[in-house]
Structures are given as structure tokens and as C-alpha cells.
Amino acid sequence: MERVDTGTTRTTGAEANGRGGDGPLGWLGSILWPDGDARLLVDRRRRRPGAEYASVVAAGNGDVRVGFRWWAAPSSEAAELLIPATCEAAARTAVRRYHDGFTLDRRARSWAAELLMRSPRLASKVLDGRLVAATGPVGDGLLTDIADALARSGPLDELHVAITLARPKSNRKPVLQLIDRNGMCLGWAKVGWNPWTRALVDNEAEWLECRPSSPVIAPQVLERLWSRGHLVVVTSGVVGSRRPRRVSDRPPPPEVVLAIADLGSRTRLALADTPWWRSVQAVLPHGTEREVRAVERVAETVGSSTLEIGAWHGDLTPWNILSTPTRGPGNVQVIDWEFAADGVPLGFDLCHFHTQVGVEMKGLSTPAALDRSARLSPQDLARLGVDPHNQINVYRLYLVELIRRTLALRAAGISVDSVEQGEAATDRIMAELSVLGGATAPNEGR
């Protein structure tokens, strides 16, 4: 299967991060209603949940009531999540956030928010000033198209949408949680609104259609549609329990990583013959002299070593692994496959897992997180069956992958994300291999 190369799509920094000065609501409104006739505004009037709807017609299934009022969290000026203010049950579902399991503080806030949504009057009072309303011809937009698609698939009389806006970054996109009037999550929709995010959303849909085997289960693609010039992919929700287990910083078992690897072409190849290395070479012309030299130094140390190759998830992190007490052959649910790719050295997922845990859960700087990953990755690579000689090779090639991602953004004309992992990876490679003079040290990094 041919994979989308997000490193070669041309776009601009303005396209990637939204319209400057409009704030998150302006950015989101321009995506939901690209013709500009409708928009999102802060509503200063205090209203109770469930009080207002905008009716739209969904083809083949009559009228579907769609909610067009939300509470903005943490504030209307810096909104990262829009909570339906049109249905109490939908609001409770929207604030039951799996991603809030990072820390005790986040979990406490999630529970408190869910409790608050059980009292519409109290919620309206506490969230006064955070009410956001869509104004203008709201029925002629992306939410209407999604309701139309869902209604064609089965009975639907009411739809509420929680919207995650996230902070500006290269892969920023609206993620919509689709909820019925009983608070049941019907699925999730990702909106690819510019060339870069469309490529990511399309890539995820292709990989989800591959259907991983036990013990991994993944969302199912329910709808794939073009709406107002945007690619919208609707996937199923989480399988199993009402609330997934707490996020863990322990890496997934080897069988999970191997099941993902088996989605691709499992083989053994020299570095120069791997599809991944060709993707590195494609963006290398966009590197600085130092970045190019760092990549070349790693290639010199790996040499003609044979590597085990397969697919990788691309962002295998605790918040993308939902371990739920389901009965059956698979109970590890893996979501967010946007960066999945084939032809990659086996073990990249584990190296990335340890790095991201360091940054996002441990609060480490990127260089410190890479140090952590260098210490922990070899033992997990060994459990995968990676031979001792290649353990350090795989880790250093993972550092090259971080550089490749930076160069792909640069090639696409997009500002590099603030985490600057490519820069830290370059520094680490140059520091290590300058000391070693380019030689490989099998036990280094432990």
C-alpha cells in the first residue's frame, strides 16, 4: 500500500496554524463554515443546557437536531475544548476525558467537570462568560454534512458535538466527538483542513483499514467524506468499559509492538535499502549542514548492518493506548494512527514511547527525555528480539527520524513545533559520535 508522504506536501505556515489574530474560535469557525457566512462568538447571556438547537435536514432520515452552543474550556479566549451546552448527558460524556489521566491533578479536574455537568443550573453559573454560540446560517456547514452522513448510516434524531481545538502546532486540526442525546459516543471525526493535515488524516484512515490482529484493536473507519473542501474521517469510539484505565508510563508488551509491525512488510534489509531511509534522503536537502552531518554520522556507524523492518504506529504513547477490561482476543486499543508508516526499523515505537513519556508525563526537557529513552530503550528492544549490536543502531536511527520530521515540516513550509526534538536529536548525535569518532559502542546509552 502506498503511504502518504507528509514531508513533500507544500503549504504555508499561516495555513498550518490558522488565521493570525482570530484566536481559536475564529480558526475553528473558518473551518466549520469556510464560506464565512456563519461564525462562532462568545454569548454573554446565561443559558441552561438543552435550551437551544438548530434544526437541519439530513438526507434520507428527516430532521436531525444539531446543537450549536458550547462551553469553552479553559476559557473562551484560549479555548481548547468546546463542551456541548445543549444536552446534559452529552456534556458529561464530553468532559470524561481519557487524556486527563496523565496526573492526579488532571484526573481530579476531569471528575470534577463531570460532576459539575450533572447540575445544569450550577454549570451555567460556574461557566458564565464561557458560552460560545454559532451565529448566521449555521445549518450550511461541516457539522450538517457530518450529521447527514451519520443519518444515512442509521437512525439519528439528535447530534451533539464536543470539539477539541488543541494548541497551535503542525498537526493541529479539529477533532469532533459525536454524541447522541443519551450521552453515547457515536464516534470521532478528524478534519483535515489544509494539505498537511489532510495527508495525516488520510494516512490514518488507510492504516485503520488494515485492521491489526490480536492483541491490538483499533477504531473502525465509519465514514470518509469531503466537506466544504476538507477531508473528514469518522471513526468508531472506544470499545469496552465506560472509562478506560488510567494512563500508564509502562511500555506496551512486545506482542503489541510486533502486531503493529506485522501490518507492514516484515523483512530484513540493509539501511540503504529500507523505504524509511529513502524518506530521510528525500528531505535531507532541507537540512542545515549540522543536521546533514548528524544523519551521515549515524549512517556511517550503522553501515551495512542488516535491520529488521516492519510497520510502526508513529506516535505510540500512553495516551494513544487504551487498555480496557474487554473480553475477547484483544484488549489493547490503539488510536491516532496519523504517523503510521511501513519500512521502518523495528523498535522505533518503543524509543518514541520513552521519549514522549519523558516530555509529556515526567516534565523533562527534550534532551533529558532523550537521555531517558537511551537508558530504557535497549532492554525493551531486546524483548522484541532486536540483537545487541542493533539496539544502539535502532536508537540512533530513531534520533534520525526526529530530524527527518523536522526537515519534512521545513520542506512543507511549516514552522517547526516548539518541542524542537529534531534539534535535540542532532545535538545528541553530534555529541555522542564526536566522542566516539564515529565508532559504534554496543553498550552505550544504558
pLDDT digits (tens, 9 = 90+) for 294-338: 999 999 999 889 999 999 999 999 989 886 555 554 578 899 999
User: What is the H or E stretch that residue 417 is in?
Assistant: none
Tell me the torsion sign for CA atoms 291, 8, 142, 160. Answer: negative
188 and 271 belong to one structural domain:
no
- pLDDT value at residue 167: 80
Q: Tens of pLDDT along 84-98?
A: 988 888 988 888 765
Number of neighbouring beta carbons within 10 Å of residue 330: 17
Q: Which of 235, 268, 286 is the last residue of a domain?
A: 235
In angstroms, the CA 436 to CA 399 distance is 17
207 and 266 belong to one structural domain:
no
In angstroms, the CA 330 to CA 261 distance is 16
- pLDDT value at residue 92: 85
**Residues 390, 391, 396, 398, Cα dihedral to 10°:** 110
223 and 273 belong to one structural domain:
no
CB of 334 closer than 8 Å to CB of 313: yes
227 and 259 belong to one structural domain:
no
- Structural domain including 335 reads 254-436
Task: Tell me whether residue 287 is in a domain.
Answer: yes
For residue 322, the domain's CATH number is: 3.90.1200
Number of neighbouring beta carbons within 10 Å of residue 394: 25
**Residues 159, 160, 166, 171, Cα dihedral to 10°:** 0
CB of 329 closer than 8 Å to CB of 215: yes
Selection from 215, 252, 217, 259 nearest residue 236 by Cα: 217
CA 392 to chain CA centroid, Å, is: 28
Whose grid coordinates read 516492519? Answer: 310
CB of 320 closer than 8 Å to CB of 332: no
315 and 204 belong to one structural domain:
no
204 and 348 belong to one structural domain:
no
CA 412 to chain CA centroid, Å, is: 19
Using left for φ > 0, alpha for ψ between -120 and 50, and beta otherwise, residue 36 falls in left
Strand extents, DSSP E, 237-349? 267-270, 306-312, 321-323, 332-334, 341-345
27 and 63 belong to one structural domain:
yes
Which residue stretches of the chain have pLDDT < 70?
Answer: 1-22, 44-62, 97-126, 128, 239-247, 323-330, 418-419, 435-446
Task: Tell me whether residue 242 is in a domain.
Answer: no
Q: What single DSSP character describes residue 1?
A: -
- pLDDT value at residue 439: 44
pTM of the model: 0.86
147 and 51 belong to one structural domain:
yes
- SS3 sequence, 145-189? HHHHHHHHHCCCCEEEEEEECCCCCCCCCCEEEEECCCCCEEEEE
196 and 162 belong to one structural domain:
yes
Task: Tell me whether residue 195 is in a domain.
Answer: yes
Task: Tell me whether residue 243 is in a domain.
Answer: no
Q: What single DSSP character describes residue 18?
A: -
- pLDDT value at residue 47: 55
- pLDDT value at residue 389: 87
Task: Tell me whether residue 316 is in a domain.
Answer: yes
- pLDDT value at residue 399: 98
- pLDDT value at residue 433: 83
273 and 303 belong to one structural domain:
yes
Distances (CA, A) of 66 to 140, 261, 360: 12, 41, 35
203 and 65 belong to one structural domain:
yes
DSSP 61-79: S-EEEE--EEEEES-STT-
Task: Tell me whether residue 77 is in a domain.
Answer: yes
- pLDDT value at residue 329: 47
- pLDDT value at residue 30: 94
Task: Tell me whether residue 366 is in a domain.
Answer: yes
- pLDDT value at residue 131: 87
Name the packing angle between helices 348-356 and 254-261 (round to 10°): 120
In angstroms, the CA 53 to CA 55 distance is 6
Kindly give the pairing relationship between strand 332-334 and strand 216-217: parallel
In angstroms, the CA 271 to CA 398 distance is 13
Task: Tell me whether residue 3 is in a domain.
Answer: no
Number of domains in the chain: 2
- pLDDT value at residue 443: 38
Q: Which of 235, 268, 298 is the last residue of a domain?
A: 235
Please report, as a single letter, which amino acid is at residue 406: T
Name the packing angle between helices 388-411 and 421-436 (round to 10°): 140
204 and 284 belong to one structural domain:
no
Q: Which of 235, 268, 288 is the last residue of a domain?
A: 235
